[in-house]
Amino acid sequence: EDKVVQSPLSLVVHEGDTVTLNCSYEVTNFRSLLWYKQEKKAPTFLFMLTSSGIEKKSGRLSSILDKKELFSILNITATQTGDSAVYLCAPEGGTSYDKVIFGPGTSLSVIP
Amino acid sequence: NAGVTQTPKFRVLKTGQSMTLLCAQDMNHEYMYWYRQDPGMGLRLIHYSVGEGTTAKGEVPDGYNVSRLKKQNFLLGLESAAPSQTSVYFCASSEKREKLFFGSGTQLSVL
């Protein structure tokens, strides 16, 4: 059975802190891993990772995938209150058809 | 440029009633998904489709049916609604092995 675990489930930090969010997965025929940000509405896309060891960056956010150890991390540096959201990781894979399943999310609160 | 459109946005049902949620996408995507999201939880996959005329079960398919008669539409049906189906429902679409585009969600309450 496919499984996605995210840690921590909840995190409170002060503005300016750096955070690391973790995602581990067990997915048959793994293809890629997606990261999304959700702020009380539909999730918005952050990254898609397909290759191990290649860091993807977008401003203060970065992410990397380790296909051997079956995990990914999302880093946010110099956090701002606007980073407060739920961060979801979603591996893609499957037995018959490829599908995307989501982890439970990490709820990040950034306080001034 | 609509993207992914879900209708309705809100609905209240009584236990035992039936309803259909409609998802329409205008990006010519092959893959379409239905997820539900409950408070404090991530998105759980209900059913999905990899092309017109195909459907497959996700993680939590019981109590739901789907149809993909046209490539641009993916319908989610509740035959006999139960309070446990109170949730926010999200539809998404994608090309194969590409990022998902989400609709704005449907808030469903079953009393």
Distance of CA B52 to the CA centre of its chain: 15
Q: CA dihedral defined by A41, A46, A48, A54, rounded to 10 degrees? A: -160
Q: Using the beta-carbon criterion (under 8 Å), do A98 and B99 form an inter-chain contact?
A: no
pLDDT at A109 over 80: yes
d(CA A97, CA B64): 19
d(CA A45, CA A73): 15
> How many other CB atoms are there within 10 angstroms of residue A103's CB atom?
23
**Average pLDDT over every residue of A86-102:** 89
Locate the chain B residue with the closest alpha carbon to A86. B42
CA distances from residue A35 to A87, A90, B6, B89 in whole angstroms, order as listed: 7, 6, 22, 19
When CB atoms are compared, the residue of B42, B50, B59 closest to A105 is: B42
Residue A48 touches partner B, C-beta closer than 8 Å: yes
d(CA A95, CA A93): 7
E strand or H helix that includes residue B29: none
* Separation in Å, CA of B82 to nearest CA in chain A: 23
Residue A5 touches partner B, C-beta closer than 8 Å: no
Q: pLDDT tens, position by position, for chain B (111 residues)?
A: 679 999 999 999 999 999 999 999 999 999 999 999 998 788 999 999 999 999 999 999 999 999 999 999 999 999 999 999 999 999 999 987 789 999 999 999 999
pLDDT at A60 over 90: yes
